[in-house]
Amino acid sequence: MQPENYYVRNLPTLSTINRALIIVCAAIFVLQSILTLFFDSHVLTHFLGLSKNMFLQGHLYQIFTYPFPQNDLLSFVFNALILWFIGSEIERSWGSLLYLGMLLTATVAAALCYLLVITCFFSSDQAITALPMLGITGICSALLLIYSLFYGERILSFMLIFPMKAKYFCWLLLAMEFYFGIFSYYAKSSWGHLGAMLGAFLFLKFGLKSYLLLCKVLSKIYFKRSRPSFRSRPSSCRPEERLNLFRDTSHLRLLKNEEDDSNGSNDINETNGKGKDKGTKYWQ
């Protein structure tokens, strides 16, 4: 039997980037609700949301701003929970810089995919071309894809009720997005969500490996610089101080995992003076 505060103590901590994203989206949602209620104005969704008509008029910044306005309160709360529980774990594992790069890649990929589908198949429909794509659902879809690839055997709750493995949850999400994109008239933003998942997959396939290779090259260049002798070495030049150059130790763990894989080892033993812990592989 678990203690009363077991689930409270094991809730993941909301990470920095996800906290900032949720706060900005919540502020814009409240402001838009006030403008709609008292002034009957949709100016924020009109200028920040992504639509083909506005994009062709020169509002190119909408590729980056459309996740901030939200469609409704229920979808925003659900997406915020995904950012909290799943996004925070991925950010802690990867580091803030790598996680931010993945979010930007998924955001741009979703926007380009949405604009491409609207231009190719619905350009003559003025109602769809003027309808903006809003919300962070695309980003959350990308996070669910990444989570299913790294932690496919973990159990998620579909609709917060039915337990399901993460990999099956991801396939179900893909099927739902395809269905809404094809058969739902006003849900063409589903193609943008699929584009976000594609962008996240391409980032894992190419961007992550390129980032790890760059970190390895830069670390080798840094450590090959002139070093003082062991006896005269000041405390700031000790190896453990040099490692502080990388704020996120997850980068170094990723690099160390890659080196151990080349030697036929799958585990990393880290000694901190008290004991040994096994490292975690984040990329195969």
User: What pLDDT is stored for residue 134 in this prediction?
Assistant: 92
User: What pLDDT is stored for residue 125 in this prediction?
Assistant: 81
User: What pLDDT is stored for residue 10 in this prediction?
Assistant: 58
274: pLDDT strictly greater than 60: no
For all residues of the chain together, what is the average pLDDT?
76
User: What pLDDT is stored for residue 2 in this prediction?
Assistant: 45
- The per-residue pLDDT for range 17-59, each reduced to its tens digit, is 999 999 999 999 999 999 988 888 888 888 999 998 889 898 9
CATH 1.20.1540.10 maps onto the chain at 11-206
- Higher confidence at residue 162 or residue 237? 162
**How many degrees, rounded to 5, is the angle at CA 243 between CA 242 and CA 246?**
115
- Is residue 224 exposed (0-12), middle (13-18) or buried (19+ Cβ within 10 Å)? exposed
Q: In the CATH hierarchy, which fold is given to the domain comprising 11-206? A: Rhomboid-like fold (1.20.1540)
- The per-residue pLDDT for range 112-121, each reduced to its tens digit, is 999 999 988 8
Q: C-alpha 44: how far from its chain's center? A: 24
Q: Which residues contact 111 (CB under 8 A, 6 or more apart)?
A: 50, 62, 63, 66, 133, 192, 195
141, amino acid identity: S
User: What pLDDT is stored for residue 13 in this prediction?
Assistant: 87
Judge whether 193 and 110 are in contact, CB under 8 Å: yes
Q: C-alpha 178: how far from its chain's center? A: 21
User: What pLDDT is stored for residue 106 in this prediction?
Assistant: 94
- The per-residue pLDDT for range 219-242, each reduced to its tens digit, is 777 666 545 444 444 444 444 444
